[in-house]
Structure 1
Amino acid sequence: MDTHTMHPAGGSLWSQATTATLHCLTGCAIGEVLGMVIGTALDLHNLGTVLLSVVLAFVFGYGLTMRSVLSSGLALRAALGVALAADTVSISVMEVVDNGFILVVPGALDAGLASWLFWASLVASLAIAFVVTVPVNRWLISRGRGHAVVHGLHH
């Protein structure tokens, strides 16, 4: 089976995976940054800040996908199912990697919003998570899973 023509979205699997990961990164980054900013501003414990960031990353990640699939005419319940199928693995990998990175950078979570360390660590964590998640998404798409589910709705 030719996996380069398996999915009607066109382009190579790497291209599709990169696009899917950029989509995932958008939702994750919105939630992650918002969670880190809120948690830091409220002086939450590091665990509270990370948990808030993870929850918001999933909310925004699923929300962006649902917005897209709802516009294709799916009912809300079906759209939620597609979002869960399309994004759960990708967001999970991204969140483990980016929060893991932030946690190992000495002082990153305690640095404060005005600190270059806070922002540099956050940007670096998201960049590393993107690089790690692209091959995961490629693997999922090659098996008709992940964002391949979403692409199937657009045709």
Structure 2
Amino acid sequence: MALTDLSAKLAELGFDLPETPAPAANYVPFVKTGQQLFISGQISNGPDGLILGKLGADMTTEEGAKAAQTCALALLAQANAAVGGDFSKVVRLVKLVGFVNSTPEFSEQPKVVNGASDLMVAVLGEAGRHARSAVSAAALPLGVAVEIEAIFELA
């Protein structure tokens, strides 16, 4: 069953659909090609601003997972914008690629990116189950904790 009202589903879960951020450099926020929607990496940015930090140094895994959740919300906002607000055009989430700003010793990148994965499944149900990568990065743009990109299938 297609999700027709993304904002209502998020509100039911206690979240708001954020504004779609403008690109910070020479790229577009998303590209639709055929039945695929590629969404550029969304950085951890909450209601109080950018979520900065390095996992394994000054952030816990739980804090990182919350940061990843904000990336998932931004990905959903970009997907919603890409389909002109008609979220029923989104068939499923295909893949997430998560980058975690972490120390060389930190090894819980999958637990951090679960913050995004768990939210996607909560919002999209079975259509939110996806392939995924969760990798360490020595640094991320602006010093953010997490950046995640996505691929969705469209009707």
TM class, shorter-length: 0.3 to 0.5
Structure (1/2) with the larger strand percentage: 2
TM-score by length of 1: 0.37
Q: Which has the greater radius of gyration?
A: 1
Structure (1/2) with the larger helix percentage: 1
TM-score by length of 2: 0.37
